[in-house]
Amino acid sequence: MSVNIHPTAIVSKKAKIGVNVEIGPFSIIEDEVEIGDNTVISSNVKIKNFTKIGNNCQIYEGCVIGNIPQHLGFKGEKSFVEIGNNVVLREYCTIHRGTNFDDGITRIGDNSYLMAYVHIAHDCKVGHDTILANCVTLAGHVKVGNYVFIGGLTPIHQFCRIGDYAMVGGASAVDKDVPPYTRASKNHVLLYGLNLVGLKRRGFTREQINIIKEAYRLLFRVSPTIEEGIKQVEEKLPKTPEVENLINFVKTTKRGIAPEASKRKLIQTDEEI
């Protein structure tokens, strides 16, 4: 099927447009752009140079993708935005190109859903099957894992990481790393146990969840330091993929790990996590 381009849209002849693509009124597609098959671009969308968009994506009104970074050190170097397959960008999302202070790529993984007014800054990496609710704001170099949910109106500080299967509550302020499988919220962000609903929905077994629970308890609740918690987990628990993922995440933190809420105030029993 041929491409359906509205007469008021401006599409560069140098852009690579897949089959069965729709481009709505007043949208602008620049030269160095690739758009995959069956992608629908609504009205007043601007897709700038060095942007690659996968198949079966939906890009709603007012989105701006591939603008230059908001970084004072950026000198106009060639850098990129890469968006996977089956990605939804709701109204007025903005996604900026990378910089040469990282690998030069800002990337959104397959099957991700970005709600209205989400901002993705330079060099961010968002994993697959991840949902960012309205007005989530990622500063530069943020890394978000796979199967993550981040609630609306949540800003995330540059260089922070959100681990796989984590859930961050709305209107939180994330200034530390949020480990995989956990549930975090508040300003500034605290850990509130495991994302049990998310884990069950993704098919984690009771045995897997129980091991993650014990790893969480040792790491963040009973051990006086993270280092001691790591030692306890490595000595006492089996080396399952989930435990390895959690331990590797904690070991490689640069921003530090978000504090456990019960160490500030007792708000939850071990059974509730």
Q: Are residues 122 and 13 in the same domain?
A: yes
Judged against a pLDDT cut of 80, whether residue 1 lies above it is answered with: no
Average pLDDT, the chain: 96
Half-sphere exposure of 11 (CA within 13 A, CB side): 20
73 is catalytic: no
71 is catalytic: no
Residue 8, domain CATH: 2.160.10.10
Measured from the Cβ of residue 131, the count of other Cβ atoms closer than 10 Å reads: 17
If you average pLDDT over residues 146-151, what whole number do you get?
Answer: 98
- Pick the catalytic residue from 24, 109, 123, 169: 123
Confidence of residue 263 (pLDDT cuts 50, 70, 90): confident
Judged against a pLDDT cut of 90, whether residue 268 lies above it is answered with: no
Judged against a pLDDT cut of 90, whether residue 270 lies above it is answered with: no
Q: Which pTM was predicted?
A: 0.95
Domain span including residue 79: 4-141
Distance separating alpha carbons of residues 146 and 108, to the nearest angstrom: 10
Distance separating alpha carbons of residues 67 and 50, to the nearest angstrom: 9
Q: Is residue 179, in this structure, part of any structural domain at all?
A: no
Judged against a pLDDT cut of 50, whether residue 196 lies above it is answered with: yes
Q: Is residue 153, in this structure, part of any structural domain at all?
A: no
- Pick the catalytic residue from 24, 66, 84, 122: 122
Residue 208 DSSP label: H
141 is catalytic: no
Tell me what pLDDT residue 204 has.
Answer: 98
Q: Are residues 101 and 212 in the same domain?
A: no
The residues near 141 (Cβ < 8 Å, ≥ 6 apart) are: 101, 102, 121, 122, 123, 124, 158, 159
- Pick the catalytic residue from 98, 140, 193, 198: 140
Judged against a pLDDT cut of 50, whether residue 242 lies above it is answered with: yes
Which one of 141, 156, 191 terminates a domain? 141
- What is the domain count for the chain? 2
Q: Are residues 133 and 36 in the same domain?
A: yes
Judged against a pLDDT cut of 70, whether residue 191 lies above it is answered with: yes
Judged against a pLDDT cut of 60, whether residue 269 lies above it is answered with: no
Judged against a pLDDT cut of 60, whether residue 272 lies above it is answered with: no
Tell me what pLDDT residue 2 has.
Answer: 87
